[in-house]
Amino acid sequence: MASNGSERPRIGITTYLEPATWGIWHREAALVPRVYLDAVAAAGGTPLLLPPVGTDPSVLGLLDGLVIAGGCDVDPGAYDATPHRETVDTRPDRDHHEAVLIREALDRELPLLAVCRGLQMLNVALGGTLEQHLPDVVAHDRHRPAPAVFGRVDVKVEPGTLTARILGEHATGSCYHHQALDVVAPGLKVTARADDGTVEAAEVEGKKFALGVQWHPEENPEDLRLFTALIRSTNDV
């Protein structure tokens, strides 16, 4: 449902269900970091929150684009794996919710931007698997240097890809993750890697705009190219 030229595109953003505190209350709430909302708004869109409750893929008919937000570890059961000792704080209900929305968005050709865990869910939803604890593979912690401390990643982008058209052949970003793509799903093309080989971006082949990145572009308000590209792509649907 593409907006006309006088309307701001409506961009759905997936949310968490987490214990939260506001005022005198401490209750479970649907939430997402404000930086996602600000990035969508600054890029020209209207952010709409999609909680993992009452999942109904037809809601995407009201949207012009979709952002799959970052967050907790993906449940290994989603890709038939045994949990690693470092895989914690999973949310199977959220995994299911986002997998349903991802598949529906792809069926509808709805522009899709998947961030960090979102890229991992894109891969899992299409049949891929994850490396559950990246330091086991790359032998360092630079992708998640300390609790609540973002790392910095430099990536090399494959030329001729959508990712390269948006970012050029080199990019940098803030990262915070210990899981990453392992077996890449059929139909998903890797378009950027870190110097340690970690998959940093991938696109769904045959789709106009279905892109995931492993870093957090919403954390850099000075570089909204990915969000701006998402908003512009809604005019092509």
Cα separation of 136 and 37, whole Å? 34
The pLDDT score that the predictor gives to residue 237 is 58
Query: Do the beta carbons of residue 121 and residue 71 sit within 8 Å?
Result: no
Query: Do the beta carbons of residue 106 and residue 67 sit within 8 Å?
Result: no
First CA to last CA distance, the chain: 8
Query: Cα 52 to chain center, whole Å?
Result: 15
- pLDDT tens digits in sequence order for the chain, 237 residues long: 555 556 899 999 999 999 999 999 999 999 999 999 999 999 999 999 999 999 999 999 999 999 999 999 999 999 999 999 999 999 999 999 999 999 999 999 999 999 999 999 999 999 999 999 999 999 999 999 999 999 999 999 999 999 999 999 999 999 999 999 999 999 999 999 999 999 999 999 999 999 999 999 999 999 999 999 999 999 875
The pLDDT score that the predictor gives to residue 2 is 53
Helix, strand, coil % over all residues of the chain, rounded to 5: 30, 30, 40
Residues 6+ apart with CB under 8 A from 142: 151, 152, 153
- Which domains, and CATH codes, for the chain? 10-236 (3.40.50.880)
User: Is residue 26 within a helix (H) or strand (E), and if so which, with residue range?
Assistant: strand 25-31
The pLDDT score that the predictor gives to residue 30 is 96
Query: Do the beta carbons of residue 74 and residue 124 sit within 8 Å?
Result: yes
The pLDDT score that the predictor gives to residue 235 is 87
Query: Do the beta carbons of residue 11 and residue 230 sit within 8 Å?
Result: yes
Strand order in the sheet with 10-14: 46-50, 10-14, 65-68, 112-115, 210-213, 199-204, 188-194, 151-157, 170-175
Query: Do the beta carbons of residue 108 and residue 100 sit within 8 Å?
Result: no
- Return the structure tokens found at 100: 């349903």
Cα separation of 208 and 155, whole Å? 22
- pTM, full prediction: 0.96
Q: Which of 42, 221, 16 is nearest to 118 (CA)?
A: 16
- Helix/strand/coil (H/E/C) assignment for every residue in 215-236: CCHHHCCCCCHHHHHHHHHHHH
Q: Annotated active-site positions, please? A: 116, 216, 218
Cα separation of 222 and 62, whole Å? 29
